[in-house]
A and B are shown apart, each in its own frame.
Chain A
Amino acid sequence: MSALSIEHLSIGLPQGADRAFAVEDISFAIEKGEILCVVGESGSGKSMTANALMGLLPPGVTVKSGRAMFEARDILRLPEAEKQALRGERIAMIFQEPMTALNPLMRIGEQIAEVFAAHDRFSQQERRDKALTLIREVGLPDPEKIIRAYPFQLSGGQRQRAMIAMALALEPKLLIADEPTTALDVTTQAQILKLILDLRERHGMAVMFITHDFGVVAEIADQVIVMREGRVVERGSAASVLTDPQHEYTRRLLDAIPTGKLPPARAPREVPALEIKGLRKVYRTGGGFFRPVREVRAVDDVSLTVGRGEVLGLVGESGSGKSTLGRTAVRLVTPDGGQVLVGGTDLAALSEEELRKQRHKVQMVFQDPYASLNPRQRIMGALTDGPITKGFPKAQAQARARELLEIVGLGAEAASRFPHEFSGGQRQRIGIARALAMDPELIIADEAVSALDVSIQAQVLDLLRDLRERFDLSILFITHDLRVAAQLCDRIAVMQKGKLVEIGTVHDIFLRPQQDYTRQLLAAVPGADWAKAGAA
């Protein structure tokens, strides 16, 4: 018998939404001890399905029809009191962002013990002991200390482990994991995935694992369903879906994944567009009467060069200083030492006023497509502000803006619209057009495709590749995702804790990594084995 079986489930959206159903007539089952991956892009209804099972649907969203059988009961139609008893005890859930899912003012131990308290289990002392056992089981270091720590004192991966400990507290039969590793670094993600596999083995629970990443699917899935716009478009065992996708949408998704397949190498470039020499940036925090100043060396004596017409990938985990390096190169951050040479000018040494005149030389494409455009300014304004300040006549700047919008595939009429009328991928195209409008010598792309769905990501990467050829662009491409870097870059620089660990051509880094840390990063990429098998 299945641990959970969903039959003809439809979830209705409130009036005025972009479609009538979040999820329409879907059916699937999870067997005991099985991991089912639900894959889809944003808006496919995968999270809504999970929320419906937990009774966590937002107001206005309701289950229209269908049922979800769990232990011979339809959990969608239980009275609230019984649902509450079920949650935590029989079905548990872990979320994408462990920092917001944990109570910031409660110690980790208390939060785990609270699960027992909510279900009236055990005495105070027993709850504490159980919490300790759980913390040990999920592999958190120094359990005695962790139990008394607050969430902010833990790293992202540790917080996710604490969430998993809470979810496991009452040995649930079903674990729902909603993108639990999306917010984590690759190496941490690999550890958490391994933990979930281990726990499944030991407790024999069923896992419904929601993700958008086929790499993760390749790592852990037994069964896969692919969702699109509220419908299941493909289902099957992980092996068959990954190697022999039937539906055209699945094939598109799989094709869109940046694989380890390396593009042919291009000739190395001699003329430098950007030279960074001995760059240093230290952040100082704290420092009160009784507290010593805490120093973080965000960028520690880094030197590198981006050749004219070259794409250099800057790869590292969060906190490695790669973003600080990028922001220093455009001088949004002023470095503490070192030089940033662009076309012979040292940007790091300019005064505010001189800098304003040199700004156009280096432009940036930002990570968050929703925050990087002024919501109250039309696109035309965003694209022409810079060139007009630089001295171009207005008519010429506007003509150029229309031309650029055509080039990035949006059409000239986009100019008169406001940012909220565009999707995330389209906004990123606008961001690229804005950078190009300044005719820069170098573009810095800071996680420019990280916030996008895979298929959109692939389109934007195609656009960047195309532009690179057309305009012979020099790009410093900052990313946490090695697979993406491999797609676009000529050379890759790896950063760790503010230092440059290794720099080399894509082929050298991927096929002959010299440093341990680089090898570690490469091994942690989800689905690495499967991708290699596919590439061969």
Chain B
Amino acid sequence: MWKRFSSNIGAMIGVVLLVAVIAIAIFAPLLFSHDPWQMVQRPFLAPFSMDGLPLGTDTLGRDVASQLAYGARVSLLVGLVSTLVALLIGVPLGALAGFYGNWVDEGAMRFTEFFQTIPNFALAIVLVAIFEPTLASITIAIAIVSWPPVARLVRAEVMSVRKREFVDAARLAGLSRPRILMTQVLPNTVSPIIVMASLMVATAILLESSLSFLGLGDPNAMSWGYMIGAARTVIRSAWWLSFFPGIAIVITVLALNLIGEGLNDALNPHLSRKGKA
């Protein structure tokens, strides 16, 4: 599996980019001695014009490079945790619906559809607006809008796996139904879940940036979306203030998408889109 993944050039580029972003996020306090909120120079300093401030300063004279590095922490953290929470809701619900069928399925799916009928982003805004905008509430809000596709995917996978003969064999062995679901069915659905999770992290990062852009981010956490939002009024005179965080989002999301696609090709070789033998 690793062999197939590592032979995929796109996926390896994705891994390298993501590792770089993660490293920057982890080592931010070592790379930058000052806080991202701290004013260090005069405002509107263009990039590459002064040593020690490679990306210039913002409208209040804060170091853009330091803001980017600390912003990476927020983006990655929110992306990962919200995806985990979404999996924790979606996987059990989808598994129960797919495995037990009948009214369990009906109930779970109508519940899922209830969430799917409300536009994702609008629901996330409403949820964050109701709670205090903190990192935790933003993470929860993103998780709540992104679990329905997980539930649907897991349900479909479970439904196809539970018809296989080895599940019948397990029933004949006298295993209880919950045990069959846990030990026989679910392990056979992990590959598509892993692929979907990697893509969900990317979507969650985008959602978080959009929320911050609209001013719904955590006011105590520096994030890429907040940077772009704050810089939008001066986009013509100070382009770098929105350009660099924009690039950071693009690179991170692209890296995650490349990895997701690489995982998909590696875990489901028969579905590979490339048609190689």
Contact = CB atoms under 8 A, between A and B. Distances in A.
Interface of A: 14, 58-61, 330, 332, 356-357, 359-360, 362-364, 366-368, 371-377, 382, 385-386, 389-390, 431, 434, 438
Contacts of B277: 14, 58-61
B169, B187, B277, most chain A CB atoms within 10 A: B169
B35 interface: no
B272 to A, nearest CB: 11
Interface stretch (B23-31, B148-156, B172-180, B244-252): B172-180
A14 B276 CA distance: 11
A371 B174 contact: no
B172 A359 contact: yes
A386 B165 contact: no
B173 A373 contact: no
Contacts of A61: 277
B59 interface: no
B166 A357 contact: no
Given A357-B174, A382-B166, 18 more contacts: A61-B277, A330-B172, A356-B176, A363-B172, A366-B169, A371-B165, A372-B165, A372-B166, A372-B169, A373-B169, A374-B184, A377-B184, A385-B175, A386-B175, A389-B173, A389-B174, A438-B172, A438-B173
A59 B275 contact: yes
A302 to B, nearest CB: 21
A375 B188 contact: yes
A364 B174 contact: no
Contact of B175 (A362, A363, A389, A431): A389
B189 to A, nearest CB: 10
Given A59-B276, A375-B188, A376-B188, A359 B168 contact: no
A366 B171 CA distance: 13
A59 B277 CA distance: 6
B170 interface: yes
Contacts of A58: 277
Contacts of A389: 173-175
B166 A373 contact: yes
Interface of A is mostly: loop
Interface of B: 164-166, 168-176, 183-184, 187-188, 275-277
B187 A376 contact: yes
Give me the 4 closest cross-chain CB pairs, A-B, nearest first. A60-B277, A386-B173, A372-B165, A359-B174
A490 B128 CA distance: 74
Contacts of B173: 359-360, 385-386, 389, 434, 438
A59 B276 CA distance: 7
B175 A366 contact: no
Interface of B is mostly: helix
Contacts of A366: 165, 168-169
13 contacts: A59-B275, A59-B277, A60-B276, A332-B168, A366-B165, A371-B165, A374-B188, A376-B187, A376-B188, A382-B166, A385-B173, A389-B174, A389-B175
Contacts of B165: 366-368, 371-372
Contacts of B184: 374, 377
Nearest to B176: A356
Contacts of B172: 330, 332, 359, 362-364, 386, 438
B166, B168, B171, B183, most chain A CB atoms within 10 A: B166
Contacts of A360: 173-174
A366 B172 CA distance: 12
Nearest to B275: A59
Nearest to A434: B169
Contacts of A330: 172
A374 B179 CA distance: 14
A431 B165 CA distance: 11
A105 to B, nearest CB: 22
A382 B184 CA distance: 10
Contacts of A376: 187-188
A372 B165 CA distance: 4
Contacts of A386: 172-175
Contacts of B276: 59-60
B43 to A, nearest CB: 58
Contacts of A385: 170, 173, 175, 183
Contacts of A363: 172
A330 B173 CA distance: 11
A359 B169 contact: no
Contacts of B188: 374-376
A362 B174 CA distance: 11
A377 B173 CA distance: 15
Given A14-B277, A59-B275, A60-B277, A374 B166 contact: yes
A61 B188 CA distance: 31
A431 B164 CA distance: 14
Contact of B174 (A332, A368, A390): A390
A263 B104 CA distance: 53
Contacts of B174: 356-357, 359-360, 386, 389-390
A364 to B, nearest CB: 6
A421 B97 CA distance: 33
Contacts of A434: 169, 173
Nearest to A358: B174
Contacts of B168: 332, 364, 366, 372
Contacts of B169: 364, 366, 372-373, 382, 431, 434
Nearest to B170: A385
A383 to B, nearest CB: 9
A332 B171 contact: yes
A385 B276 CA distance: 39
Contacts of A374: 166, 170, 184, 187-188
A92 to B, nearest CB: 26
A359 B168 CA distance: 11
Nearest to A359: B174
A376 B188 CA distance: 7
A44 to B, nearest CB: 20
A14 B277 CA distance: 8
A363 B183 CA distance: 20
Contacts of A357: 174
B191 to A, nearest CB: 10
B212 to A, nearest CB: 41
Contact of A359 (B171, B187, B275): B171
Contacts of B176: 356
Nearest to A367: B165
A367 B173 CA distance: 17
A240 B174 CA distance: 53
B162 to A, nearest CB: 12
A61 B277 CA distance: 8
A1 to B, nearest CB: 36
B27 to A, nearest CB: 38
A61 B183 CA distance: 39
